[in-house]
Structure 1
Amino acid sequence: MATAENGPRGPRGPLDGTRVVELAGIGPGPFAAMLLADLGADVVRVDRPGGAGLGIDPARDLTNRNKRSVLLDLKAADGPATVLELVERADVLIEGYRPGVAERLGVGPDACLARNPKLVYGRMTGWGQDGPLAERAGHDISYIALTGTLSMIGRPGEPPTVPANLVGDYAGGSLYLVVGILAALQHARTPGGTGQVVDAAIVDGAAHLATMIHGMLAAGGWQDRRGSNLLDGGCPFYGSYETADGQYMAVGPLEQRFYDDFVRLLGIADTAPDRGDLARWDELRAAVADRFRTRTRAEWTEVFYGSDACVAPVLSLREAPHHPHLAARATFVEHSGLTQPAPAPRFSATPASVRSGPALPGADTDAVAADWDVPGLRTTRKDTTD
């Protein structure tokens, strides 16, 4: 595992010179802003007095790494005006309020684009800016449930398995917001281009993630029930199996040549039922499961290491950074005593890096006021310290 350079001196990435204003929130908005910061953008997070979030120690909230923070009360008389000063100097704004809240606070799209016509105004919500549920509360599980995505995950006859908050919040939400922002930035920077609003709804992104599955469903190659398909755990050679020590191995040799390696190394090549006979899949699954229970995860890892059998140990979050492949690629780094995933993806000419730890609320107000030349921030800073 690599150790990132402390301080702001590390490589900045391809978005160096791009300015982003992030109105503090939780979940997918901060993650999207972190990704832009990882790629080199100067992200200024506007934190509110009293804080906001899920009770995580700000010094350990990794979604605020590579950012700077200023403290502003948007409900104070001068709060919106100061945000608009930042907006005037920014390329991007990110907010994750319910529809209409930013407008009521005086920092909605109309006010911001009037101040800066080239601005990309990124809106991160679960339900989107319109529709019957637009103003209702929700969380990741709500959004992926409604799109059909959750229905695909888990074993048949059992409740759907909750995939943490990765599929909705971060895959369907944050990543689509970032794609939209980058596309809108490209447009704004072309001759005659303008700023615009990017409406990133988790329901839209989570539905879009299943595009291939919908195609397979239409073609008759996917059953609309959980645990009955090639890629959802229904297939005996695409899933996880318990080992002798209560750990697990992940198995995925879909192609015949990889499957041949798999059954050979597992030791059932001469006895395994024909994988093409779907009526014998339960029998094949039992044979694979019984064999995996004869050795520990470490022993099976050694058996399959270096092969094309598509078998890997299921590692925990704390184990993953120490795997030889991930360590060799520096997939995880340590910065300021915190082990964390490194920025991704990678760039040959403009490498990204973890340049600073999580931004503490308000810690960078003076520096941002000077760097961005925002007089209102200096006034706010003076008022909060008197």
Structure 2
Amino acid sequence: MSLPLEGLKVLDLSRYLPGPLATQILGDFGAEVIKIEDRKGELGRYLEPMIKDTSALFYTVNRNKRSMGLDLKKPEGKEIFKKLVADADIVVDQFRPDVMNKLGLGYEVLKEINPRIIYCIITGYGLTGPMRDAAGHDLNYLNIAGVTELMGTKDGPPAMSGVQIADTAGGSMYSVIAILLALAAREKTGEGQLCDVAMMDGALSLLSYTIGEWSGGDGTLPKRGGEMLTGGYAAYNIYECKDGRHVSLAAVEDKFWASFCRKLGVDEYIPLHIDIPHQEYLQDSIRKIMLSKTRDEWVEFFSDSDLCFTPVLSLDEMVKHPQVLARDMVHTLTNFQGSGKDLVCTGVPIKLSETPGEAKMVFAGIGENTDEILASIGYSTAQIEQLHKDGIV
């Protein structure tokens, strides 16, 4: 069975997290991904913690790719890249806006070589606007997008997310969407295009409901930790248990709140579901009740009830959870590369019935596929040897 993206060639210039995760998704669904790296390897290979000589983080977003070491600053390196572009479908660029232009390898140049090329550039703030050239990381993009101000507990300071929301949701996921949309358009027009993906834009778009609630109301800004979905209501909250672990209740709908209250024997709380003046009282009362049992005792207590109640799991618990395992969402590579460490990688989150993705746990070393890639675009053995001697590859 062929995968949906088989036959497509991706030249991946990205590093660290946003671009590599995006191209890994493309690779899981059949695209041939060639990772174009500095001859010493992309910087993401050297982030702690290390497994032997390579970062554990690198492995989690770079499976099923080939690697080519190439110096794009040298004329010969530029020429090789242009030859690769002539036969490619997609280029993923994660440098600042003008880096590839200054190298003479920007979109306007490459589309002359291959009009069908889809060039996806992932930046912090996009190719337009006053912050176009500003440096940044996930936290900065979330700050400008208005996300950080909303995160945290009541009366507390803004909190940082436990995951890189702008990098992954704003960058990786929207890049994949942009590339797929451009591929669909190319089927109609025969031409590629530039995909301008800003991590700030993507993060901001995740506020759709929040912005609607704010702008459609009386104009009052959302209170950190004080709204229905951020901790201001008893029915949608996290509670500590007797053993110091936590459970979550997400009874937004009346029926779930009623089921929860009846099971606890506090039927009198049912009509107070979204009654604002009583929320502090309800939360205090439920907190005291939850402290009477351990987390797992509460999970068992509510196991036969139809309501939105789950334990808060740690990572080591998550990787063993039956739902996670049933969905094939983690791959544990025991004694990875003889290191004595077990490496855990995420699975394929998109489930297709006829052409499912494949999380092949194959990882290329720095420049491991350089010679075969060069040979595929017409370089002879002698030429390849000379390129190595000259420090081009």
- Counterpart contact for 1:149–1:206, Cα < 8 Å: yes
Alpha-carbon distance in 1 for matches of 2:358, 2:389: 33
Gaps of 5+ in 1: 1-10
**Over the residues paired in the alignment, what is the CA RMSD in angstroms?**
2.2
Q: Give CA deviations for 1:29-54 in whole Å, capped at 9, x if unaligned.
A: 11111111112111100010223324
- Counterpart contact for 1:365–1:377, Cα < 8 Å: no
Q: 1:348 aligns with which of 346, 353, 362?
A: 353
Alpha-carbon distance in 2 for matches of 1:358, 1:236: 47
- Counterpart contact for 1:127–1:203, Cα < 8 Å: yes
Q: 2:369 aligns with which of 331, 353, 364?
A: 364
- Counterpart contact for 1:369–1:377, Cα < 8 Å: no
For normalisation by structure 2, the TM-score amounts to 0.89
User: Match of 2:316, SS?
Assistant: coil
Q: 1:46 aligns with which of 19, 36, 40?
A: 36
- Counterpart contact for 1:154–1:233, Cα < 8 Å: no
- Counterpart contact for 1:12–1:351, Cα < 8 Å: no
Per the TM alignment, residue 120 of structure 1 is displaced from its structure 2 partner at its CA by 0.4
Bigger CA drift: 220-229 or 206-215? 220-229
Alpha-carbon distance in 2 for matches of 1:383, 1:352: 36
Per the TM alignment, residue 382 of structure 1 is displaced from its structure 2 partner at its CA by 5.2
Per the TM alignment, residue 352 of structure 1 is displaced from its structure 2 partner at its CA by 0.9
* More RCO (CA 8 Å, sep 6+): 1
- The equivalent residue for 1:303 is 301
Per the TM alignment, residue 13 of structure 1 is displaced from its structure 2 partner at its CA by 3.1
User: Match of 2:228, SS?
Assistant: coil
Alpha-carbon distance in 1 for matches of 2:2, 2:389: 32
Alpha-carbon distance in 2 for matches of 1:155, 1:139: 23
User: Match of 2:43, SS?
Assistant: coil
Match status 1:174 vs 2:172: yes
- The equivalent residue for 1:252 is 250
Gaps of 5+ in 2: 337-342
- The equivalent residue for 1:268 is 266
Per the TM alignment, residue 186 of structure 1 is displaced from its structure 2 partner at its CA by 0.9
Bigger CA drift: 376-385 or 335-344? 376-385
- The equivalent residue for 1:322 is 320
Alpha-carbon distance in 1 for matches of 2:323, 2:313: 13
Q: 1:208 aligns with which of 189, 205, 208?
A: 205
For normalisation by structure 1, the TM-score amounts to 0.90
Matches within 5 A, 1:285-304: 285-304=283-302
Residue 317 to residue 12, structure 1, CA distance change in 2 (3 Å): farther
- The equivalent residue for 1:7 is none
Q: Give CA deviations for 1:321-373 in whole Å, capped at 9, x if unaligned.
A: 21112222222223574322211201111111112333322112233334x43
Residue 271 to residue 84, structure 1, CA distance change in 2 (3 Å): same
Percent of residue pairs bearing the same amino acid type = 33
Alpha-carbon distance in 2 for matches of 1:16, 1:88: 18
Per the TM alignment, residue 311 of structure 1 is displaced from its structure 2 partner at its CA by 0.8
Per the TM alignment, residue 269 of structure 1 is displaced from its structure 2 partner at its CA by 3.3
Per the TM alignment, residue 317 of structure 1 is displaced from its structure 2 partner at its CA by 1.7
Per the TM alignment, residue 73 of structure 1 is displaced from its structure 2 partner at its CA by 1.0
